[in-house]
Structure 1
Amino acid sequence: MLNRSILIGRLTRDPELRYTPAGVAVTTFTLAVDRPFTNDKKEREADFIPIVVWRQAAEACANYLNKGRLCAVEGRIQVRSYDNNEGRKVYVTEVVADNVKFLESANRDSGQQSNSRDPFAGDGKPIDISDDDLPF
């Protein structure tokens, strides 16, 4: 038998980090995943899939992911149930992640460029380089 799910999508809200009474980290978030087709109005629809991440990966997700970030999740689909306050049984379907990959840098929306990667990034002003600075 096989139960594997691989999803790529964007977070609909910031992840929520909690700890079990035993001190185990658990993070939850919802991933919006586009459907591969359009509806009658030629609009794309999405599925909103709850994700659960445990232990060290949970802490990393809580620290580095936020609303709108693109990520890939690999895991298994799990269905659980509980009785709500009204005594009705509620079923929850979620993906328990084994692996989460961050597909965008953390500062993609901040409007700041990292000068450590691109020495020519700047404000458009000419770069002052003398002939003595050139290696040829």
Structure 2
Amino acid sequence: MTDINTVIVVGRLTRDAELKYTTTGTAVSHLSIAVNRSRKTGDQWTDEVSYFDVTLWGKSAESLQQYLIKGKQIAVEGELRQERWEKDGQKQSKVTINARNLQLLGGGSGGGGTGRPPQKQTGGYSPEASSEEGADYHEKFEDDIPF
């Protein structure tokens, strides 16, 4: 069996995406997302955040650039890549997500962006279209799941 390297994360952009081009003219966008998680420790809920660097390539990088602004919620499906380099004689490494698919989700920018006007969202997730109106999927439950 071959190895599997697939990851799916949903989070919010921590900064506006940065679009660059390789020497061969391929578009590459660098972005960073924050993924929040709540967990119960004893009687208290604690929030934890993980930050992930994401790389998006080609036409997707170019066409989505104007929408990838700080605070925007996105879903990313891709593979993990370990980048390695040497700095001042010390070996360094970092795990990043190489995006295969990126989807814009509900919610607007959290402020701080580049001053671009808000764009009308077409397609994708729409909170108004939810089949369970008023459902709170971020609800904190009192009891732990018994399994």
Confirm or deny a common fold (TM above 0.5): yes
Larger deviation, residues 64-73 vs 87-96: 87-96
Q: RMSD in angstroms over aligned alpha carbons?
A: 2.5
Instruction: Give the corresponding residue for 1:34.
Output: 36
The aligned length equals 111
Contact 1:18 1:25 in 2 (8 A): yes
Structure possessing the higher radius of gyration over alpha carbons: 1
Instruction: Give the corresponding residue for 1:54.
Output: 57
> Runs of 4+ in structure 1 displaced over 4 angstroms?
38-41, 105-110
How far the C-alpha of 1:6 sits from its partner, in A, is 0.4
Unpaired stretches in structure 2, ≥5 consecutive residues: 121-147
Unpaired stretches in structure 1, ≥5 consecutive residues: 115-136
Contact 1:3 1:76 in 2 (8 A): yes
How far the C-alpha of 1:28 sits from its partner, in A, is 0.8
Tell me, yes or no, if structure 1 residue 64 matches structure 2 residue 67: yes
Q: Distance between the aligned counterparts of 2:40 and 2:15, measured in 1? A: 24
How far the C-alpha of 1:105 sits from its partner, in A, is 6.4
CA shift in 2, pair 1:74/1:87, >3 Å: same
Q: Using structure 2 for the length normalisation, give the TM-score.
A: 0.67
CA shift in 2, pair 1:39/1:31, >3 Å: farther
Contact 2:72 2:109 in 1 (8 A): no
- SS at 2:20 equivalent: strand
